[in-house]
Structure 1
């Protein structure tokens, strides 16, 4: 009797799809982190996933769609829960700190995410709605809510870069004579780069929140004076 050959291949689609939203998203983030954004093309993404470009297009219609998934996946790591239980300023602080920590792990994505329109990004829009609603409930005017959010994000993205900067980023080298006051100030900072970055972020965030409180209080006083 002849030996049995390999079992015939089952027809039809495989039980498990070759692609998934999670695989596509993780591969896109990996490409940007390891090779740079210029390499995030549908062709290179398909190569990373080991599928044909046409198969990738069958699963996701465009690079824009990939970026929406990336944006939502990263932003899911940001804690917005404080707006349900805390005063607006404490909730905003928790959100800002979590936001900074999240993007300190994804600094390669900041130049993309900072300017990517949020249209059709479900989780990101829900996050902004939570923050905006919390600020509105606290008395912030509709005209200023988006500015508060943008102000926090401007600080957050810069602080995320600083959290991963090299320890000697401000070392003047052999030319400390050109900036003696600055050189002394740098030496007065914590020697640990992570601690120095945290101290700077604390100072900036505290100053921002103090300013926000004063601004909101002044606006409420003006409104009360008009009644």
Structure 2
């Protein structure tokens, strides 16, 4: 059959090494999990702007048409990425124990997940959660935890958004250089700020009472700041409970 012979000829034209033919690959070769992994790798190397359907197809070594058999658009890819990242956030604390400890565990885990994927924060932070099962499952667990703790229903989402705003900003802070507040040659003209920076850098770190904080390196300024802010937020939000 001439068509088969021609395909075989193309597959061995590169020094005898077999090449994948264009078209829809088998499910074992291309699936949503593989697309998600490739998308995260691409964003990690080239940033969010580097995530295009054409670039993703190249990373996966498939024709763009094969990719479109699994995802209809870049928006679909982002939903897969969002769902994957949210599935990594630890919500187990809301299944038992105190609300305060549950929020601390959730927030530390949430921050750590996105500290590894900061280029995606501006996108994920405003991406609708519609039809994202893992993301919705995470929010359902957290919302139930807030409700069980006595939060008025109308305050639950604003409280979660307030925490998320702090978490996303803190995820960026993890990647900041330790000397980000160095005044340099302007130290003499900024004595209060410079003294505060030096004091925070040299002072022993206070330990938090919640379990999750004990697993972090509290010599890092980013962790100390996150701990301080999270304790304050949790304390303030607790006042909204019935």
The TM-score normalised by the length of structure 1 is 0.85
- Name the structure 2 match of 1:29: 40
More helix by share: 1
Q: Which runs of 5+ in 1 are unaligned?
A: 1-7, 221-227
- Name the structure 2 match of 1:63: 74
Separation in 1, partners of 2:108, 2:25: 44
Corresponding pairs, count: 207
3-state SS in 2 of match to 1:120 = coil
Q: Does structure 2 conserve the Cα–Cα contact (< 8 Å) formed by 1:60 and 1:66?
A: yes
- Stretch moving more, 19-28 or 199-208: 19-28
Q: 2:223 aligns with which of 198, 207, 224?
A: 198
Q: Does structure 2 conserve the Cα–Cα contact (< 8 Å) formed by 1:166 and 1:193?
A: no
For the structure 1 residues 14 and 121, does the alpha-carbon distance in structure 2 shift closer, same or farther, using more than 3 Å as the test? closer
For the structure 1 residues 210 and 125, does the alpha-carbon distance in structure 2 shift closer, same or farther, using more than 3 Å as the test? same
Separation in 2, partners of 1:65, 1:147: 27
Q: Which runs of 5+ in 2 are unaligned?
A: 1-7, 12-23, 203-216
Separation in 1, partners of 2:79, 2:25: 27
3-state SS in 1 of match to 2:69 = helix
Counterparts of 1:5-20 in structure 2, within 5 Å, are 17-20=28-31
For the structure 1 residues 132 and 158, does the alpha-carbon distance in structure 2 shift closer, same or farther, using more than 3 Å as the test? same
For the structure 1 residues 176 and 152, does the alpha-carbon distance in structure 2 shift closer, same or farther, using more than 3 Å as the test? same
The TM-score normalised by the length of structure 2 is 0.80
Separation in 1, partners of 2:219, 2:35: 32
Separation in 1, partners of 2:29, 2:149: 48
The CA RMSD over aligned residues, in Å, is: 2.0
Separation in 2, partners of 1:20, 1:215: 44
- Stretch moving more, 169-178 or 113-122: 169-178
